[in-house]
Structure 1
């Protein structure tokens, strides 16, 4: 029988087994119902209330519509918001440029500036879209010219600049809903870093590729992200240890941690975080931001909370969140991710007022990120369906501002 023809109870059973093969007792406990009640629901002998059904859907990691609709629906995805000019520049259709390339120093200054904006600005997508097309064209032109040049030092620096730019483009394209372009620029970053013979940037490029694969829904891609991270960590072990190599190894460990968590291997994720990421974070210290990874003790604490959120352990996630001060982070993106996962913990507990407060805070912190986040969009739409009349206007207004209505 196709999924589209299954009754609600059998759909719940299907997703419970598909998404981690979790037991009835575990799902029931997290949803605040008895195991017996869930057994009766799956057997079609009880019809869950809308609130209970919403809790079950959230714990199974599927939209409510997947349990109710006549046809299965995919979870809300990020809108495609990559600027067409950026995509055209990456495809080689940018404006014509002069034969003389910009100097490495000038290109380095521009790449550093756009990275600074990307990590700190509330309007980072809009600002990046304005400067990236010309920057892509100029950097790639410089790479082509200096590949044929005789100055090895300049050639290597231009390749490093290209690797750094592609790292930013990976994040931009992924969050703008263009995983195809994100994968392409991640591959370009690897090639540039290898040609520059720069071990730290090679590790950063693999870290970027890992994040692209983590964005895919397929379990094989998520598992491959961990394999790539582990191999990159091994490669770093063959170069002299520095604070930079420790930071990149730590960032790669977090890719492996997220891979385990996304595949519902909670204990593996917790163990790897504690045994491998925590010691590296202590060695690196706070505020290093090597290769714009924001790796350090605070980032590791945030990943510990993230594991609990993904595992449905909302209370433990909130306990860990109380120990986190995101003001020490240089990355607004990481601050946004923390706030989003905090809102999700309250959402799992059906503390709608608290979830709404944090979503509104995120709108102030990073409105463009909020509009592009599939998780935020789904939470807001679910809130709109179940929130008490006292808060319905605020939720509806937020949904309207994000063009979800």
Structure 2
């Protein structure tokens, strides 16, 4: 039996009662039994990450709200999303009398935001400082140029808007706000269509696919990815189209894996995705980090999800992520390796990888539900030799 994690159960019960939902109704919609939900709320069972996501979705709260470790977390539904970002998004960018920024300035600022998001260990803090004004300026530029007679300037503005909303999709999703992530993914798709840019339209589908995966809509995610691939087949052959189609193939791979279609996932990964990676080479088309290394990383993910931790670790030992341009992708890889060791109960290796993750991006570690769950398990079973290090890590992450 899983060891208890009472604070998760208490938070689930808190939000269920606040939403005036019965255990039977919530359990049924999440695909679990009422008795199982009762055991979770009483701290007798630990929900899997998939069940946790389903519960958060049904209770209309970010996953972080169910994982909080003190009473203040119970009333903070926007714990990881800066208020200014939420206000700018919900307000759809305040209108100002100031002359709109130039397309070139806007492009430079969005690309700078992407560099922060992909490379900074403090990316949440730094992004939150610049995003509210950038959202507003982007929306003002769209309003100013929507009916412009200069079609190329208009398209450039919409290209830049699409790129910003691609980043916001990742920011909102990683911050636990799937609702906002879906909203900005839709804006990115509309902006890409307005720009009449096939590669960005495909990237918009890639972003939407990731939101659907996070929502548990695996079939919809795969369908979206396949639609994007089919649209790209109408373009002249080139590295960008190959790389973008390859990134979409990986969305379909993950969708198959989440539905436990391991054979289909492995076949698509070793077939279509690998072939496109060979043709495109290493790259970062539309910030997807697609290339042979990313395909290898997905091999680790699939084997881990299939429960083949030994095979996942064998593959992981052959992967060098040092040259990947995305801190998020390197973080995810190390997290999955840590999870493999966690499944094998190799606690020293789990601790080493968690400390490596903290060194790479302490803000990501603090915000990641799976990482926090591993730290909690490690605290309960770790040997005295490592207890002091584990306790110090838990304190730094704010785990009581």
TM-score interval, normalised by the smaller of the two chains: 0.7 to 0.9
Would you say the 8 A contact 1:85–1:94 is kept in 2? Answer: no
1:97, CA displacement in angstroms?
A: 2.6
Would you say the 8 A contact 1:294–1:331 is kept in 2? Answer: yes
Say if 1:78 and 1:155 are closer, same or farther in 2 by CA, change over 3 A: same
Residues 65-123 of structure 1: CA deviation (Å, up to 9, x unaligned): 74973688563833530101001001127555334211100000000001011000000
Residues 112-167 of structure 1: CA deviation (Å, up to 9, x unaligned): 00101100000000000000000000011101110121110100000000000000
Q: Tell me what 1:69 maps to.
A: 43
Q: Tell me what 2:393 maps to.
A: 398
Q: Tell me what 2:129 maps to.
A: 130
SS of equivalent residue, structure 2 residue 269:
helix
5+ long unaligned stretches in structure 1: 5-13, 20-61
Would you say the 8 A contact 2:93–2:140 is kept in 1? Answer: no
* Mapped pair 1:331 → 2:323: no
SS of equivalent residue, structure 2 residue 52:
coil
SS of equivalent residue, structure 1 residue 326:
coil
Would you say the 8 A contact 2:92–2:139 is kept in 1? Answer: no
| Aligned counterparts of 1:391 and 1:118: Cα–Cα separation in 2 | 33
| Aligned counterparts of 1:70 and 1:302: Cα–Cα separation in 2 | 34
Backbone CA RMSD of aligned residues: 2.1
Question: Which one of 280, 285, 297 corresponds to residue 284 of structure 1?
Answer: 280
| Aligned counterparts of 2:201 and 2:365: Cα–Cα separation in 1 | 31
Question: Which one of 308, 311, 319 corresponds to residue 313 of structure 1?
Answer: 308
Q: Tell me what 1:295 maps to.
A: 290
| Aligned counterparts of 1:96 and 1:197: Cα–Cα separation in 2 | 25
5+ long unaligned stretches in structure 2: 1-8, 10-26, 54-62, 66-78
Q: Tell me what 1:251 maps to.
A: 247
Which structure has the larger Rg? 1
* Mapped pair 1:183 → 2:169: no
State how 1:80-229 maps to structure 2 within 5 Å: 80-92=79-91, 97-216=96-215, 218=216, 221-229=217-225
Would you say the 8 A contact 2:93–2:139 is kept in 1? Answer: no
Would you say the 8 A contact 1:225–1:255 is kept in 2? Answer: yes
1:241, CA displacement in angstroms?
A: 1.8
* Mapped pair 1:241 → 2:237: yes
Would you say the 8 A contact 1:169–1:185 is kept in 2? Answer: yes
Q: How many residues align?
A: 343
State which drifts further: 90-99 or 134-143: 90-99
Say if 1:299 and 1:349 are closer, same or farther in 2 by CA, change over 3 A: same
1:393, CA displacement in angstroms?
A: 1.6
Q: TM-score, normalised by structure 1?
A: 0.81
| Aligned counterparts of 1:207 and 1:156: Cα–Cα separation in 2 | 20
| Aligned counterparts of 2:369 and 2:380: Cα–Cα separation in 1 | 17
1:261, CA displacement in angstroms?
A: 1.1
Which consecutive aligned stretches of 4+ in structure 1 deviate over 6 angstroms post-superposition? none
Q: Tell me what 1:365 maps to.
A: 360
| Aligned counterparts of 1:394 and 1:72: Cα–Cα separation in 2 | 24
Would you say the 8 A contact 1:95–1:134 is kept in 2? Answer: no
Would you say the 8 A contact 1:78–1:175 is kept in 2? Answer: no
SS of equivalent residue, structure 1 residue 333:
helix
